[in-house]
Structure 1
Amino acid sequence: MKIDNSVKSAAGLPPNDGRTRSAKESPKADSASGSGEKVELSSLSARLQQMEETIANTPVVDSAKVDEIKQAITEGRFKVDTDKVADGLIESVRQMLRAQTGPA
C-alpha cells in the first residue's frame, strides 16, 4: 500500500501555501516576515504543557527512599508489618478474582 502525502484543500490551495510552520519554530520568524499572524494557546493548554513537562522530569523511583530502606535493612532496623503485607495480598487476590468473574 502506498501512502500519498499530498493534501488537497477545498479552496484548491497547494498542500503547503507558506502559511504553516512547525510547532518548534520560533515566533520571531513571523515578525521577520511581517505577516502579523499570531497564535496564542489557552491557559488550559499552557497548563497542560507545564504538567506534561513536570511529569516527564519526575523520576519513577525515589532513589533517596530506596537508599534509606537499603540502609535500614543493612543495619537491621527495617521492620516488616506482616499484617499490612497480608492485607495487601488478600486485596490483590480479591481484585484478580473480580476481574476474572466480571462485575457482580
Structure 2
Amino acid sequence: MKIDSTTTAAGATNAVGGSPEARNRSSTANPPAGAAAEVHLSELAGQLQSSGEALPFDATRVAEIKRAITDGRFTINADAIADRLIASASELLGSPPPA
C-alpha cells in the first residue's frame, strides 16, 4: 500500500491554507530544510553519562535470588522498598527524606 501525500482527510480542503488540521500536520511533518534538532540533557543525565563507571554485577547473588524465587523462598519487603524509593527520590530532588 502506498501512502499518497495528496489525499486529504474528510472535510479538509486542498485550497491554499486548507483546514487548520492540514496546515498543522504539514508544518510538523516536514521540518524546514537545514533545521537541526537540539537536545538538552539535565545536569544529572550528563553526570550519569560521563561517569563511565558500571555498577558491579554479582552473578553469584543473581543465581541465589533465582534459586530462591524458583523454590518459593524469596520474600519481598514492601516497606524497605518503599523507604528506599522515597530516599532515592528525595536525594534526586535535593531534599532530605521525610522522618
TM interval, shorter chain, is 0.3 to 0.5
Normalised TM-score (structure 2) = 0.38
Normalised TM-score (structure 1) = 0.36
Which structure has the larger Rg over C-alpha atoms? 1
